Amino acid sequence: MSLDYDHLVQEDRVHRALYTDPAIFAAEMSNIFGATWIYVAHESEIPNPNDFITRKLGLRPVIVLRDANDKLRVLFNRCTHRGTTLCRHEKGNARAFQCPYHGWNFLNTGKLRGVPWADGYSSDIKDPKFNVAQVPRVESYRGFIFATLNEAAPPLLTWLGPITRPIDEWLDRNPGGKVFVCEANRFKFKGNWKLAYDNSSDGYHVIYSHRSLLEMENRLADESNKGMAYYKNSPDALPMYVQYMGNGHHFKDKRPNLQPRPGGLWAIESTHPGMEHAQDMFRAKYGERAESLLDLAGSEPVNVNIFPNLSLLGNHIQVFQPVSVDETDAIWYGTRIEDVNGDIGDALPTINALRMRTQEGFPNFGEVDDLANFEQIQRGLQCPEDEWIYMNRGLGLPDRIKHNPDGTITAPATDEVFMREYIKEWKKLMQARPELTIQREP
Ligand code: FES
Ligand SMILES: [Fe+2]
């Protein structure tokens, strides 16, 4: 069946099939989660030679690893003998992987090293066809590792384009411009993966969908507004904005709402257990330095959304992992910092503990509101006769949307221009005929 994407994606609306049709989902797993750069892991998760971590590239199970020569590789997690999952550990350090089924043994370069009772084979087991398949292109940008099966995809840096600016800014506020990825906080929802990506720069829903979180944060606050309280009046009149960054990426910048002073970020941090104690202790112990140290623990009010599966928000990294047309894993990774420049000293463990506890703000009490919405959309879309979903907020209003010289598009916080633009990119990718290839060691 060929799908008419020009009909399914229109200027102001998209067809429900984008979220419900298993054939479209199957096509996405090659045309998008295969043919574009997909975030697979962070370098800090595999810092040493022979470290590995198991992940997915679309639905393909993969092993992301650093080989003995420091080369990043993404191997299909599939034994070449009979196809079983080769590595069943979540992560570790290994020079070689032995298949649990019949014991074929592979170096972490993918090369078959040996098989049990090799004299039972007439064919040459040194034939490269027995080496594990791997993703031909793996590149990293400032620690974020991406992979694609498409030899014709542009270089990663070209693909990222202007979204590198907010990525850089998100990193550069930390010592040495670095974060280190911690363990995951795993959510899942019964809905299509694009529901999460559509929502990731949505400033229209905040005050309605997250009302209980906003009320709770501000009931407990004694001074300035906490969390996302700035949404409560006229969000479009505030200096925050949404920006479409090209190639499906988008960016929600709420930083202009903050007071530009040391401690300005910490002042709006959601209330969570233990924070007052740490704050009082920092102010007593470090004096003036306390405010900028507390800012290192605070959640940066940005959503840097890298199409199709990565989001940087607060001090967290979120990954959208499709499972099926109506199921998605939404995984949050905390990040910690290190005292790279030697000027944090004994405040470091408390800063990192506070960074983790910021999960008790939006990630735990706001994300669930969003996931509930995604599931309720998926449910609402089970009405086949009512075919369209609208993303027309802001469309056709003169002077509302600004086209910038670098090709990015800026709009007020509640505008849906970022959805309309990314879905155009989605359509372009779905209409393409990419050639996906694998590699094997010679
Ligand atoms: S399936 Fe891996 S050795 Fe048989
Ligand atoms: Fe939300």
Is 38-141's fold the same as 162-429's? no
Closest by Cα among 343, 345, 347 to 355 = 347
- The stretches in the chain having pLDDT less than 50 are none
Give the per-residue pLDDT at 123: 85
Query: What is residue 193's predicted lDDT score, i.e. its pLDDT?
Result: 98
The answer to whether the CB of 101 is under 6 A from ligand 1 is yes
Three-state secondary-structure class, residue 43: helix
Q: What is the distance in A from the centroid of ligand 1 to the CA of 149?
A: 24
Residue with the nearest Cα to atom 1 of ligand 1?
A: 82
CA atoms within 13 A on the CB side of 420: 19
Residue bearing the CA closest to ligand 1, atom 4: 102
* Closest residue CA from atom 3 of ligand 1: 102
Atom from ligand 1 closest to the CA of residue 86: 2
User: With the CA atoms of 199, 161, 246 and 45 taken in that order, what torsion angle do they form, in degrees rounded to the nearest 10?
Assistant: -20
Is the distance from the beta carbon of residue 87 to the nearest atom of ligand 1 less than 6 Å? no
User: Ligand 1 mean position to 106 CA, how many Å?
Assistant: 11
173 lines ligand 1 (CB under 6 A): no
- Tell whether ligand 1 has an atom less than 6 A from the beta carbon of residue 211: no
pLDDT tens, 412-431?
999 999 999 999 999 999 99
In angstroms, the CA 337 to CA 347 distance is: 11
Rounded to the nearest angstrom, the distance between the alpha carbon of 107 and the centre of ligand 1 is 15
DSSP 154-216: PPHHHHHGGGHHHHHHHHHTSGGG--EEEEEEEEEESS-HHHHHHHTT--SSHHHHTHHHHHH
Beta carbons of 30 and 301 less than 8 angstroms apart = no
Distance (Å, rounded) from C-alpha 403 to C-alpha 30?
A: 31
Protein residues with C-beta less than 5 angstroms from the ion ligand 2: 370
Q: Whole-number mean pLDDT of the chain?
A: 95
At 359 the pLDDT is: 87
Q: How far is the CA of 366 from the centre of ligand 2 (A)?
A: 6
CB atoms within 10 A of CB 403: 10
Q: Say how far apart CA 53 and CA 74 lie, in whole Å.
A: 10
**Tokens linked to 233:** 């009046």
The Å distance, Cα 412 to ligand 2 centre, comes to 17
Which of these, 215, 197, 193, lies nearest to 206 by C-alpha position? 215
For ligand 1, the distance from its centroid to the CA atom of residue 38, given in whole angstroms, is 28
Question: Domain ranges in the chain?
Answer: 38-141, 162-429
Q: How far is the CA of 149 from the centre of ligand 2 (A)?
A: 32
Domain 162-429 is classified in which CATH homologous superfamily?
A: Naphthalene 1,2-dioxygenase Alpha Subunit; Chain A, domain 1 (3.90.380.10)
What pLDDT is attached to residue 119? 95
Max CA pair span of the chain: 78
Q: Is 82 in the pocket of ligand 1 (CB under 6 A)?
A: yes
Ligand nearest to the backbone CA of 231? 2
Q: 93 C-alpha vs ligand 2 centroid, how far in Å?
A: 37
Give the ligand at the shortest distance from the Cα of 313. 2
**pLDDT score for 120:** 96
To the nearest 10°, report the CA torsion of 115, 121, 126, 128: -100
Nearest atom of ligand 1 to the alpha carbon of 102: 3
Q: Is residue 403 in contact with ligand 1, taking CB distance under 6 Å?
A: no
**What is the pLDDT, as a whole number, of residue 270?**
84
Instruction: For residue 82, report the distance from its CA to the centre of ligand 1, in Å.
Output: 5
So what's the pLDDT on residue 225? 72
Give tens-digit pLDDT for 182-230.
988 999 999 999 999 999 999 999 999 999 888 887 776 655 577 888 8
The residue to mutate among 76, 99, 112, 117, having the most atoms of ligand 1 within 8 angstroms of its beta carbon, is 99
Per-residue model confidence as pLDDT tens digits over 108-136? 999 999 999 999 999 889 999 999 999 99
The CATH superfamily holding the domain 38-141 is Rieske [2Fe-2S] iron-sulphur domain (2.102.10.10)
Give the CA distances from residue 363 to residues 75, 162, 316, 352, in Å, rounded to whole numbers and listed in that order: 31, 26, 9, 16
Return the pLDDT at 152: 98
Q: Residues near 67 by Cβ (< 8 Å), separated by ≥ 6?
A: 49, 50, 73, 108, 109
- Is the bond preceding 308 in cis, omega lying within 30 degrees of 0? yes
Residue 99 Cβ contacting ligand 1 at under 6 Å: yes
Q: What is the DSSP letter of 134?
A: B
Per-residue burial over 66-83, b = 16 or more CB atoms within 10 Å of its CB, e = otherwise: bbeeeebbbbbbbbbeee
Using a 6 Å cutoff on CB, does residue 79 contact ligand 1? yes
Q: Residue 216: its pLDDT value, please? A: 81
What DSSP character marks residue 4? Answer: -
Residue 9 near ligand 1, beta carbon < 6 Å: no
**What is the Å distance from ligand 2's center to 318 Cα?**
13
